[in-house]
Amino acid sequence: MRAVRVLLTSSNESVKDWMRLAVAGIERRLDERLEFIEASNGERGVLLARKYDPDVILADETQSRAGAFAMTKDLRDQLPPYDGVIVILLDRPHDAWLARWSGADAWFVKPADPFALADRVLEALESRREAAAARDTTEKETA
């Protein structure tokens, strides 16, 4: 069974450690192992996302040209678009519109509740899996 791949993107090692700990508990609820990949910025995050096709991207918004918003927008606009889950950690509440504009599935203002983050990641994963299963069923029925 393939592990659930989670890409952690932040220039801050402490934030990456926090993200890893926040979502580690969903392993038990998913009954699947999590495999973590790390990037230090959005540019590297895009490269790793294209290479490894993670199921989830947790991105810390940094005030830079290659932050989470740019990375998310780039991944959502590529052909084919990245269809995994993207969650952004915001520094400021009023940046929520940028998270929405970029195509993020969810966003949290730091300091975020780790349990709420884990719950949202799990919900988004389950929702995407259900949608994929429904598409597969429809394709088989029409074939």
pLDDT of residue 64: 63
| Spatial CB neighbours of 40, under 8 Å, sequence gap ≥ 6 | 9, 10, 11
Confidence of residue 31 (pLDDT cuts 50, 70, 90): confident
Give the helix ranges, DSSP H, for 55-113: 68-77, 96-102
Position 63 scores a pLDDT of 57
How many whole angstroms separate alpha carbon 97 and alpha carbon 107? 10
Q: Which of 70, 56, 50 is nearest to 23 (CA)?
A: 56
Write down the pLDDT at residue 77.
94
pLDDT of residue 59: 94
Percentage of the chain lying above the pLDDT 70 cut: 96
Query: What's residue 7's pLDDT?
Result: 96
pLDDT band for position 39 (cuts 50, 70, 90) = very high
